[in-house]
Amino acid sequence: MCMSDKIRRELEKIEIPEELHNRAQLGVEKAKQEMNSRSDSSKKRTKNLGYFLASAAVLFGLFVGSAFVHPVMAEMASKLPYLGQFFEQDSITEVIWTEIGEDYKIEGVGTSYFPESVVHVTLGGNDGYYAEVKADVKSVVEEILVKRGFDAYSVEVDRPREPGPEMVLSEEEKRRNEETMWVMNDINDAFKARNIESPLSSIRDNEKIMAEVPKATSDEKIKEIKAIINGVLDEKGYDGYTIHVKKIDMVKMDQDMRWAGIISLLAEEVMGKEDFKVTSLGYTVHPQPEVLITTSVKSSDSEAEEFAEELSHVINKYLESEEMKSKVKDDDYIITIRSKDKKKLN
């Protein structure tokens, strides 16, 4: 029996449980980068993602893209069903926090995927406490990973990072930060008082007031929005702010948010287990949703295309499941799988 037949037989055994944990709520941090398109040299926006779970004082740079050990191709056949099994399990960061959070002074648990897959655990307490329990914490976390079949992660136990000189704010910067929060609150309240949904999206650099409106918004409506914001600034005496209103495709924005959640659910499993050979996972919704996967498989491998076909089959099965219908909706999506040497395999 060829590898493809064996894999297909295993794929048919995958069962999708009734409950799907919404791991996307743990937090998804999307990083945008430019990526070559399939057929020409034009650029498309892609989103790389990673998981983040930590206290306010702990930040991890979470970028998808890691180097995996390349196992024997034929051994992955019975491993692909992991993708169907993870519906019924909590996120690995949730599991770690639950199992060790009460026994140790844990301040943060997170995962990162660049340059390799790593579980980060941040310990509080003094230096003596850290030195005493560091090895124990690492050992416990490694055991948890083994139980879940995560063999692509290493474990790092660290102290909370001290802010560098560039992170120390001046008194004026602190004042401006605080004022910016008041500006946002006052603007939102002004729109609420008029029974208008606030278009305010952010205030950049403590000076650029950013508002987003649907593409069809008229120039007169935009003038009204700016007038409301300017009225707040004048009434409250807020100086030094500029207003920027951007028209956006609301349907495409909704689609973008849905696919961010979809990819976040995939990331932990396919990036955390070597059998999937996934070294980078991302997506784009322009011009249509596309799942972008890079693997550690070389295009010269005799079974590379067959592997890509079966990996695509597994992901399709997941995306077509009842649990994912509310996210995928009726989107016509593409799955693109590339080799280590960036060649398209499917």
SS3 content of the chain, % helix, strand, coil (to 5): 45, 20, 35
Q: What would the two tokens of residue 136 be? A: 């124990």
pLDDT score of 1 more than 60: no
Phi, psi of 277 (to 5 degrees): 60, 25
For position 334, what pLDDT does the model report?
Answer: 97
Say how far apart CA 158 and CA 122 lie, in whole Å: 5
- Strand pairing category for 200-204 and 154-158: unpaired
What CATH class has 169-251?
A: alpha beta
Distance CA 122, CA 141 (A): 12
- Using CB atoms within 10 Å of the CB of residue 270, give its burial: 0 to 12 exposed, 13 to 18 middle, 19+ buried: buried
- The token pair at 182 is 């008041």
In sequence order, what are the beta bridge partners of 64?
Answer: 113
d(CA 90, CA 150): 13
Residue-wise pLDDT tens digits, 258-315:
999 899 888 888 888 888 999 999 999 999 999 999 999 999 999 999 999 999 998 9
DSSP 233-294: HHHHT--S-EEEEEEE-HHHHHHHHHHHHHHHHHHHHHHH-GGG-EEEEEEE-SSS-EEEEE
Closest CA to 66 of 49, 53, 83: 49
Please give the DSSP secondary-structure letter assigned to residue 38: S
Please write the tens of the pLDDT for every residue from 21-78. 333 333 333 333 333 333 343 334 344 433 333 322 232 333 333 333 333 333 443 3
Domain ranges, ordered by start, for the chain = 1-168+257-346, 169-251
State the pLDDT confidence band at 89, using cuts at 50, 70 and 90: low
Q: Give the pairing type, strands 43-51 and 278-284.
A: antiparallel
Residue in the structure block whose two tokens are 């890079």? 294
Cβ pair 118, 111 in contact under 8 A: yes
Write the CB contacts of 52 (distance below 8 Å, at least 6 apart in sequence): 26, 27, 28, 29, 60, 62, 110
Helix axes 92-100, 127-148, angle to 10 degrees: 130
Q: Among candidates 295, 291, 265, 263, which has minimal Cα distance to 279? A: 295
CA distances from 203 to 98, 166, 171, 179, 241 (A): 36, 21, 19, 11, 9
> Of 82-91, 180-189, 250-259, where does mean pLDDT reach its minimum?
82-91
* Greatest mean pLDDT among 9-18, 82-91, 299-308: 299-308
DSSP H/E element including 169:
none
Instruction: State the DSSP code for 52.
Output: -
